[in-house]
Structure formats: C-alpha cells, structure tokens
Amino acid sequence: MSHRIRRGTLGVLSLLMLAAAAGCTPSWNGPNLGMFNYPIPVSPYFQKEAEDNFIDEERYKRVPILGPITPGTPHQALDPPSEDEIMRALERARMVQGGLPLLHEVQRKNVRIVVEPVADYVDPPRVMPLVGPVQVHHAHYKCIVYFTEVTRVGWPVPYTTVDEDCQEVIYIDHDHLHMVGNVDPGPGSPY
C-alpha cells in the first residue's frame, strides 16, 4: 500500500512540475496584481488616439536644431508640410475621422492639395535654456485642400450626400532653430 501511495505522490508531483515548467500556472516571481493580472480590453477609439498622439509627437512636434546660417546665402525654410501632416491637421480641425460605421460615414475623395508659403523670416539671435545661442526660423504655410466629400447616413433614414466642391484652408507653422556662433547678449548677462 505504501508503495502505491509513494508512486501516486511522485506522479502528482511530476505532473505539477511539468505544468509549472510549461507556463500553465501563474508565476510567483515579482508582484502579483490579483484579478488585474489579466488583460483588459481597450476601446479602438482610445488606441487610435494614442497612436495618433505618438505619430504627431514623433514626426511633427519636434523642433530640429540646424547649423548656422552662412552669410550671403538665402535662408529658405525646410521642406513644406507633407500631405500626411496636412490631412492630419484637417482631421483634427474638423473633428471628423471617418465617422461611425453604418451610422454616419464621411469620406474624402479626389483630394488635391495646394501649399502656398505665407511668411519666411528669422528672429535675431538669443539664448535659449538647454539649447544655447540660437536663431528661430519661422515658416508659415497656407494649405488649401480641395476634395469631394461623400457623407453616408445609415439611420434613421439611409441617404448619401455628395459635395463635389469642398475646400478647406489650413495654416501650418514650421519653426526650427539655427545655431549661432558668437552672440553678445549684452552687459551684465550671465551668458
């Protein structure tokens, strides 16, 4: 009898060790969050908002620091705004990002974008904290977006409207910094 109990106990222990090695049981190393240890579903709205904020921060909200402006050369701004940047600004301004499926959908078709430079100027040199002596280069653009807007409403009465002559104007500012070699901040300045 004791032989069978030993064999059964050994079998149960070996199964528990196998299950623990396979990852079938929770890990006891580190903090345990109890019932919050399991994934919680997130709405696609909040996920898209977080992704859009990350893309904007990554691509468009950083200010580059370029080399100094050499005397005698024209000081043109960097690249004009991209089509992606213009369409993202348009979506933020109109608060429309496609609408609600089967209830109210908005589409933009035949999109044509015209970018016009409005102003391009450089501020006098100054000292900025954590950067040093720089000049701020401002570039302002007027972006006109021509498109056909198709709106589909699905409830309570389904209908579709097509506006073929839509246009929106978006103003986009691109600022960047230029390093400055010798800046005289004036007498009594700690810099």
**pLDDT digits over 5-28, tens only?**
888 888 887 877 766 665 555 555
For residue 178, is pLDDT > 60? yes
Counting Cα atoms < 13 Å in the Cβ hemisphere of 34 gives: 0
- 115 versus 18: the higher-pLDDT residue is 115
- Please tell me the predicted confidence (pLDDT) of residue 169: 96
- Please tell me the predicted confidence (pLDDT) of residue 140: 96
For residue 153, is pLDDT > 70? yes
Structure-token pair, residue 139: 């570039």
The span from the CA of 107 to the CA of 150, in Å, is 5
- 94 versus 20: the higher-pLDDT residue is 94
In this prediction, residue 130 has a pLDDT band, given cuts at 50, 70 and 90, of confident
Closest-CA residue to 164 (of 177, 182, 180, 151)? 151
The span from the CA of 50 to the CA of 29, in Å, is 31
- Please tell me the predicted confidence (pLDDT) of residue 120: 93
The model scores a pTM over 0.75: no
The span from the CA of 13 to the CA of 19, in Å, is 10
Structure-token pair, residue 11: 């079998």
**What mean pLDDT is predicted for residues 102-113?**
91
**What mean pLDDT is predicted for residues 125-149?**
93
18-22, 107-111, 154-158, 182-186: which range is least confident on average? 182-186
- Strand (E) or helix (H) holding 160: strand 159-179
Structure-token pair, residue 173: 């500012």
Distance from chain centroid for Cα 183: 36
46-50, 74-78, 86-90, 187-191: which range is least confident on average? 187-191
Closest-CA residue to 76 (of 124, 127, 137)? 137
Average of per-residue pLDDT values in the chain: 83
Helices 83-94 and 44-59, interaxial angle, to 10°? 130
Which DSSP state fits 144? E
In this prediction, residue 111 has a pLDDT band, given cuts at 50, 70 and 90, of very high
**What mean pLDDT is predicted for residues 99-113?**
88
The span from the CA of 165 to the CA of 110, in Å, is 10
